[in-house]
Amino acid sequence: MLYWLMKRVFLGPVLRLFFRPRVEGLANVPTTGGALLASNHLAVSDSFFLPLVVPRRVTFPAKLEYFTAPGVKGKLKKWFFTGVGQIPIDRSGGSAAQAALDTVIRLLREGHLVGIYPEGTRSPDGRLYKGKTGVARIALEAGVPVIPVVMIGTDKANPIGSTLWRPYPIRVKIGEPLDFTRYDGLAGDRFVERSITDEIMYALMELSTQEYVDMYAAKAKELHLPAQRSHERVPETEAG
């Protein structure tokens, strides 16, 4: 109930008013049954705009910290993220990561529509980065189609580090479902999972026209941040 209130009464109308989201390829989302929406990831707002334009409920796994902050602010945060269809996932270690995969697989087997970001984290510069093979493992074990989704403009509306969103037209492009039933029984095969993941990322690249980078986004952030911090210190040095 809270999810639909947020979408139709509280948050949804505001997002539609200021960002005018447009969706293409909505017919590619099945009306029933489990399916995995694999999206590029430009901004936190991706997890708000995709559920907004899809008629069915979309569930996103979200980091546990969103749900465990202390005090009144923490409770409000938990209420908000629960209301927009996100579920807490503990990614602190190996067993936690497996538990996260198991949760998503269970939801898909129960017939839910689940959103996931194969890059694992937001793109630091708007390019499309190498996908992690968890998306392939989930698709194979749940036995569901993977639907490529591209968000366009969310990084302009919600730049990394911004506290306030800026009005900007948002586009959501949904591609044709990818069927990986030919790999049934091969979950856990690293070569197969890498091949499936690369196929998904190629579909996202074609759908988005983003430049593809054969590197994990998390690694790109590690390489980028020191240079960024150095650049940020330049004015202080000149002022001194």
Paired residues of 173 in beta bridges:
24, 150
Confidence of residue 65 (pLDDT cuts 50, 70, 90): confident
Mean pLDDT of the chain: 87
Those residues with Cβ within 8 angstroms of residue 77's Cβ, 6 or more apart along the chain or in another chain: 66, 67, 69
Q: How far apart are CA 31 and CA 111, in angstroms?
A: 10
pLDDT at 232 over 80: no
Q: What is the pLDDT of residue 58?
A: 93
Q: Judging by beta carbons within 10 Å of its beta carbon (0-12, 13-18, 19+), is residue 27 exposed, middle or buried?
A: exposed
Alpha helices in 35-162 (DSSP H): 46-53, 65-68, 71-83, 94-109, 134-142, 154-157
Q: What is the pLDDT of residue 96?
A: 64
Q: How far apart are CA 67 and CA 99, in angstroms?
A: 17
Q: How far apart are CA 37 and CA 4, in angstroms?
A: 19
How far, CA to CA in Å, does 96 sit from each of 103, 110, 118, 218? 11, 21, 18, 19
Q: What count of residues does the chain have? A: 240
Confidence of residue 230 (pLDDT cuts 50, 70, 90): very low
Q: What is the average per-residue pLDDT within 193-217?
A: 96
pLDDT tens column, 110-151? 999 999 999 999 999 999 999 999 999 999 999 999 999 999
pLDDT at 238 over 50: no
Q: What is the pLDDT of residue 92?
A: 63
Could you tell me which residue, 5 or 53, shows the higher pLDDT?
A: 53
pLDDT at 237 over 50: no
pLDDT at 216 over 60: yes
Paired residues of 172 in beta bridges:
23, 151
pLDDT tens column, 90-99? 666 667 667 7
Q: How far apart are CA 153 and CA 21, in angstroms?
A: 10
Write phi, then psi, for 170 (nearest 5 degrees).
-110, 135
Task: Quote the percentage of the chain above a pLDDT of 70.
Answer: 88
Q: What is the pLDDT of residue 228?
A: 45
Element (H, E) at 129: strand 128-129
pLDDT tens column, 145-185? 999 999 999 999 999 888 889 999 999 999 999 999 999 99
pLDDT tens column, 31-59? 999 999 999 999 989 989 999 999 999 99
Q: What is the average per-residue pLDDT within 98-105?
A: 83
Contact 50, 58 (CB under 8 A): yes
Those residues with Cβ within 8 angstroms of residue 17's Cβ, 6 or more apart along the chain or in another chain: none
Task: Provide CATH code, domain 2-215.
Answer: 3.40.1130.10
Alpha helices in the chain (DSSP H): 2-5, 11-19, 46-53, 65-68, 71-83, 94-109, 134-142, 154-157, 190-208, 217-239
Measured in Å, how far apart are the chain's first and last C-alpha atoms?
57
pLDDT at 226 over 70: no
Could you tell me which residue, 216 or 80, shows the higher pLDDT?
A: 216
Element (H, E) at 39: strand 35-39
Q: How far apart are CA 49 and CA 165, in angstroms?
A: 13
